Structure 1
Amino acid sequence: MSTSTDVLVVGAGPTGLTLACDLRRRGVDCTVVERATTHHTRSRGKGLQPRSLEVFDDLGIAEAALAAGRTHHHLRLYSGGRLALDLDLPARPPQPGVPYPNLVVLPQWRTEQVLRTRLAELGGVVRLGQELVDLHQDDDGVTATVTDDSTGTVERIRAAFVVGCDGGSSRVRTLVGIPMRGESHEEHFVLGDVRIEGLPADGPSYAWFDDDGYLAADPLDGSGTWQVQAGVRPDASGTLKTASLELFQRLFAERDFGHVRLSDATWLSDFNPRVAIVDRYRAGRVLLAGDAAHVHSPAGGQGMNTGIQDAYNLGWKLDAVLRGRAGHALLDTYQEERMPVARAVLASSDLGHSAFFSPHPVMTFLRNRVLVPALRLPVVLDRLLDGVAELDVGYRDSSLAGEPAGVDRTGDGEAAGVVDRVRFRHGPHAGDRAPDAEGQDGEGTPVRLFDLFRGTHSTLLLFDGPAPTDAGYRRMAATARAVGAALGDDVRTWIVVPGDRRPDGLDDVDVFFDPDRDAHHHYAATAESLYLVRPDGYIAFRSQPAAARPVLDHLGSAFRLHAPA
């Protein structure tokens, strides 16, 4: 049997599902195959970081994820047999420019369920029990051979591109011969989902660090199911205990929690954390994402989130290439942008792993005497949470990030003053995440910038500064028309007005009212300014003044623009 599709996604974890949702909403035909015969119910990666929630906002599922998880966190941490830290972290309200400031804890199976529901709404489906056994590519596409687990039927799927989202032991990676290099930690961990009686189901999380190793327990859904994990060391005979209810029960008893009772293990696992990354993310028409491209310690809770953002970076680029709006060179920017992020995550998670889990006496002393006490300081805790939120991830060094080297003095726009240019220099740069802001649409209805960004398009924001002029608005309207003519439906333009009244002459241009100048502040727009935001929410180009020619010249180096009428 033979079938065809635009993109074959191999693996239906969070990375593969995010990519499939993004492609389907763009009208890209994609097929998702998964080797497992049923959807799993394991907690595994159980936290969505703020940047991943912003991705989910764009996909239309942020509220579903928030409703399924918890944002109020309470941790009781024991060190050396005593309670060293009782940390209560209520959910933070939305912050300026950051609508989702909290980590959301929910089991991975639930995250995948939310994504699958969205995929189904978009007309997609996960094909379970489908194992990839072979790949062959040529200049025009890739032929994948897939077998059906239940019938043994062999299917050949012809795709323009194949994306391996099939985990750390990726079959796709093996078939195309991309090596993954790294090393494993010597520490051995056991993990499981169990029911616990004797601890409040909606109460705090627990963690113990002592000479016998590490133990932690996190409530998952308020029903009495917990994820438990522990670091175990060889016994006197050199034998390592494997994950079991009996082992976890003994570990709790050894920490004076013998009154709790563990039962109904639905998942038990053993692992040694590995730190590794591939040499390259792409081999012709085959690409890798998520754990198929990089694996690391779970310290910091960034593994699943990094994979989600891999997919979000790749989806719009595949779409542009498939529609003929860009050449295959655009796909090279996927590795260019995401590999440095993965390397940074590997380094930071490895450092976090050593800080929390290393049995070395020096690290144990520093953890007990320095790190744990420091967590009582709000400034330290805030820095730690901000460090794993992934809101600072950016692509300033990307070839897709453009900023004019100097001030435009062609007369096409209002030149900014010295103070305005200094402020602009300290605003968000090309390659940075585009911040959110609150305002109103042209009808006076409250909206956020993220509402304008949501969808498959790029967004052009034109600011005339807090001292606008009619001439400035006329020029910006002309810029909006010129960029719209070149990009068509791929861009939506908004003129950001510092007030709540539509200026004359803008009847055919969308406006975003900024009465509190929230957007002007976040974008350092104290003079006429232009920001082009990519479909994945990162700034592609910015300039002062808001002239069309510089941004079109930049885009023309990577994309095929419509010829002017």
Structure 2
Amino acid sequence: MDDVLVVGAGPVGLVAACELARQGVRARIVDPLERPTDQSRAVLLHARSQELLAALGALDRVEAASRRITGFEVRAGGRALARMRLDDLPTRYPWALDVPQSDTEAALGARAAELGVTVERGTGMAALTQDADGVEVTLRSATAEERVRVGWVVAADGAHSPTRKAVGTALSGSFSGQHFVFADVDAETDLSPDTVRMFAHPEGISAVFPLPGDRVRLLFLVDRPGTGETPTPELVQSRADRRMEGRVAVRRSRWLTYFEVHHGQVPRYRHGRVLLAGDAAHIHSPAGGQGMNTGIQDAANLAWKLALVARGRARADLLDSYDAERRPVGAAVIRGTTALTTMGTLTGARAVVRNTALHVAASARPLTDAAAARLAELTVAYPDSPIVGSRGRRAPSTARPGTHAPDPAGLVTTGGAPVRIGDLLRRPGHLLLARTDDRAVLEALRSALGDLGTVVPVVPDAARAGADEGAVVDPGDVVGRAYGTGDDGLVLVRPDGYVGFTCTPADPAALAEHLRDVVGIRGPGAPAPGAEVSSSPA
């Protein structure tokens, strides 16, 4: 088994390390900070990220430190222009969570410890070189320097990533833009704490993000600050008085900073044995709270693939699908957040037109529902991925390969307890839903999937499950309606919660062929694929 080094112990690096451990590979994770951040930084956790953290076993801790957000509102002139509801999102978690990044990191750190992963603090990546068989990394702390050889490196070391520089690549984009004040404060307000609010004011856009207790995150568009200038509590309060209808009174300042909007992305996410994720791969405006969430999905997408390769169970070119799937997502996020920032920073007559358009659009519920699903990142899909596929017939308007796996209510265990697809994804590896009670077919499917995951028979009633206690009962055919399996089909759900393969009727040979020829799975005991890895960082 090849060792994996994760550089950076923010949310992205911690998710990568946790998921690698869950999939059978214990990573070494380092971070140059002597202690975890106490700054709030990224505060918004969307529904798709919550699904991933639930499968990881970390969501309960995160939610305990957060506030649920059920709506987004835009206000101007003392009235609401538009409201977007989250409570009808097609997810088990129809809300966002507002939670300081420091608490998210603490929850993920606790989960990492449970999985046997310890963050090495005060240790950073100083240099690296790679060849076809591994990566030579120089790690440096305040007191020592260490050279290690590892099989793979995951770079989750942020917007100024030393690892990105070490592999000879750089962000390409726009590195000057609007300036904002971020203010993490304790405040008194009569604004309801279940809603994120944006205030469209002639001076510029502002926003309130409710956090647990009396804590809120305030955001203000401002002019370019002077060199070395820092925001003051007085500046924050004066902006709040003028732009937020006089409804926010700051009592204590926790963290104040200026932020300049940058947009950029690396040309490729994979460089031989080094994989870039999160801000190391893409940076963009904080509009919509997409940054941390996109990085978490990067990590979840990458980790299960890297675990298979590191364990010698898949060809190394499986990792090319990480770039193929996630880089277009990063580019789309940059386009979307750029548009949101541009729209939010309009002034004068253009701002009047924007406000009118928002008010009109908000009256069309289908439009706001679609916008909410995009914001929650539930519409992210990989329909053109090189590692997804299907065989046989497929009903229209059902989940396609490369799309987010639906999680319908209505399933129960053979003992009658409610169960969801999301619950089943807490098991490591792939999840194979098999709409058949044919014992021979089920055994052949289990043989084809092997140690890559779990086969779960889906039957219409408990009597059809026989002695298979792992079966789930689907009396209302919710799996059939969601996935188009009919009475005899299969759906392979990847560890990151996306549909990887569908086949109707259920065909073990077709499953085995997909895993071998499309995903690149090797048989147990096959040699590790080191010779197939390009050493070029270009």
After TM superposition, the score normalised by the length of structure 2 is 0.90
Per mean C-alpha deviation after superposition, the further-off stretch among 188-197 and 303-312 is: 188-197
- Counting only pairs closer than 5 Å after superposition, residues 68-467 of structure 1 correspond to structure 2 as 68-73=65-70, 77-79=74-76, 81-85=77-81, 92=87, 98-149=91-142, 152-184=143-175, 186-197=177-188, 202=193, 205-222=196-213, 224-233=214-223, 242-255=230-243, 261-359=249-347, 361=348, 363-372=350-359, 374-375=361-362, 377-404=364-391, 407=392, 421=393, 424-437=395-408, 438-464=410-436
Per mean C-alpha deviation after superposition, the further-off stretch among 247-256 and 111-120 is: 247-256
Contact 1:5/1:31 (CA < 8 Å) preserved in 2? no
Aligned equivalents of 2:260, 2:242: Cα separation in 1? 23
Closer, same or farther in 2 for the Cα pair 1:104/1:480, shift >3 Å? same
Contact 1:495/1:509 (CA < 8 Å) preserved in 2? no
Following TM superposition, by how much is the alpha carbon of 1:230 offset from its aligned partner in structure 2, in angstroms? Answer: 0.7
Aligned equivalents of 1:27, 1:294: Cα separation in 2? 28
Contact 1:500/1:515 (CA < 8 Å) preserved in 2? no
Following TM superposition, by how much is the alpha carbon of 1:509 offset from its aligned partner in structure 2, in angstroms? Answer: 7.8
Task: Deviation per CA, 1:43-77: give whole Å up to 9, x if none.
Answer: 22111111111101111122222232222446664
Following TM superposition, by how much is the alpha carbon of 1:257 offset from its aligned partner in structure 2, in angstroms? Answer: 5.5
- Identity value in percent: 38
Per mean C-alpha deviation after superposition, the further-off stretch among 210-219 and 255-264 is: 255-264
Aligned equivalents of 1:508, 1:146: Cα separation in 2? 50
1:539 aligns with 2:464: no
For 1:495, the aligned partner's letter is P
Closer, same or farther in 2 for the Cα pair 1:479/1:562, shift >3 Å? farther
Contact 2:6/2:27 (CA < 8 Å) preserved in 1? yes
Aligned equivalents of 1:337, 1:487: Cα separation in 2? 23
Aligned equivalents of 2:102, 2:360: Cα separation in 1? 34
The 3-state SS of whatever aligns with 1:304 is helix
Contact 1:232/1:241 (CA < 8 Å) preserved in 2? no
Following TM superposition, by how much is the alpha carbon of 1:233 offset from its aligned partner in structure 2, in angstroms? Answer: 2.3
Closer, same or farther in 2 for the Cα pair 1:497/1:7, shift >3 Å? same
Task: Deviation per CA, 1:130-169: give whole Å up to 9, x if none.
Answer: 12211122222112212213xx211223211111101111
User: What is aligned with 2:535?
Assistant: none
User: What is aligned with 2:489?
Assistant: 529
The 3-state SS of whatever aligns with 2:17 is helix
RMSD (Å) for aligned C-alpha atoms: 2.7
For 2:215, the aligned partner's letter is T
Following TM superposition, by how much is the alpha carbon of 1:376 offset from its aligned partner in structure 2, in angstroms? Answer: 5.2
Question: Which of 445, 454, 457 is residue 492 of structure 1 equivalent to?
Answer: 454
Contact 1:219/1:227 (CA < 8 Å) preserved in 2? yes
Task: Deviation per CA, 1:442-500: give whole Å up to 9, x if none.
Answer: 33332222222222221211225xxxxxxxx43xx333222322332212112211233
User: What is aligned with 1:556?
Assistant: 516
The 3-state SS of whatever aligns with 2:151 is strand
Q: Which has the higher contact order (CA 8 A, sep 6+)?
A: 2
Contact 1:396/1:432 (CA < 8 Å) preserved in 2? yes
Q: Unmatched 5+ residue regions in structure 1?
A: 408-420, 465-472
Aligned equivalents of 1:369, 1:526: Cα separation in 2? 47
Contact 2:37/2:102 (CA < 8 Å) preserved in 1? yes
Contact 1:392/1:433 (CA < 8 Å) preserved in 2? yes
The 3-state SS of whatever aligns with 2:288 is coil
Aligned equivalents of 2:174, 2:136: Cα separation in 1? 33
Aligned equivalents of 2:132, 2:84: Cα separation in 1? 57
User: What is aligned with 2:47?
Assistant: 50
User: What is aligned with 1:411?
Assistant: none
Per mean C-alpha deviation after superposition, the further-off stretch among 452-461 and 70-79 is: 70-79
Following TM superposition, by how much is the alpha carbon of 1:244 offset from its aligned partner in structure 2, in angstroms? Answer: 2.0
Aligned equivalents of 1:202, 1:6: Cα separation in 2? 45
Aligned equivalents of 2:44, 2:339: Cα separation in 1? 19
For 2:411, the aligned partner's letter is G
Closer, same or farther in 2 for the Cα pair 1:121/1:363, shift >3 Å? farther
Aligned equivalents of 1:330, 1:492: Cα separation in 2? 21
Contact 2:179/2:224 (CA < 8 Å) preserved in 1? no
Closer, same or farther in 2 for the Cα pair 1:257/1:540, shift >3 Å? closer
Closer, same or farther in 2 for the Cα pair 1:508/1:303, shift >3 Å? same
The 3-state SS of whatever aligns with 2:180 is strand
Closer, same or farther in 2 for the Cα pair 1:480/1:75, shift >3 Å? closer
Closer, same or farther in 2 for the Cα pair 1:132/1:78, shift >3 Å? same
1:515 aligns with 2:510: no
Following TM superposition, by how much is the alpha carbon of 1:106 offset from its aligned partner in structure 2, in angstroms? Answer: 1.3
Task: Deviation per CA, 1:82-114: give whole Å up to 9, x if none.
Answer: 33348595x73785xx21122112121111111
Closer, same or farther in 2 for the Cα pair 1:72/1:343, shift >3 Å? closer
Name the count of aligned residue pairs.
522
Aligned equivalents of 2:245, 2:327: Cα separation in 1? 43
Following TM superposition, by how much is the alpha carbon of 1:541 offset from its aligned partner in structure 2, in angstroms? Answer: 1.0
Closer, same or farther in 2 for the Cα pair 1:346/1:232, shift >3 Å? same
The 3-state SS of whatever aligns with 1:454 is coil
Aligned equivalents of 1:101, 1:486: Cα separation in 2? 36
Closer, same or farther in 2 for the Cα pair 1:523/1:183, shift >3 Å? same
Following TM superposition, by how much is the alpha carbon of 1:332 offset from its aligned partner in structure 2, in angstroms? Answer: 0.9
Closer, same or farther in 2 for the Cα pair 1:532/1:184, shift >3 Å? same
Q: Unmatched 5+ residue regions in structure 2?
A: 526-538
Contact 1:134/1:145 (CA < 8 Å) preserved in 2? yes
Task: Deviation per CA, 1:245-285: give whole Å up to 9, x if none.
Answer: 12112212334866854353222221221111101111111
Contact 2:177/2:262 (CA < 8 Å) preserved in 1? no
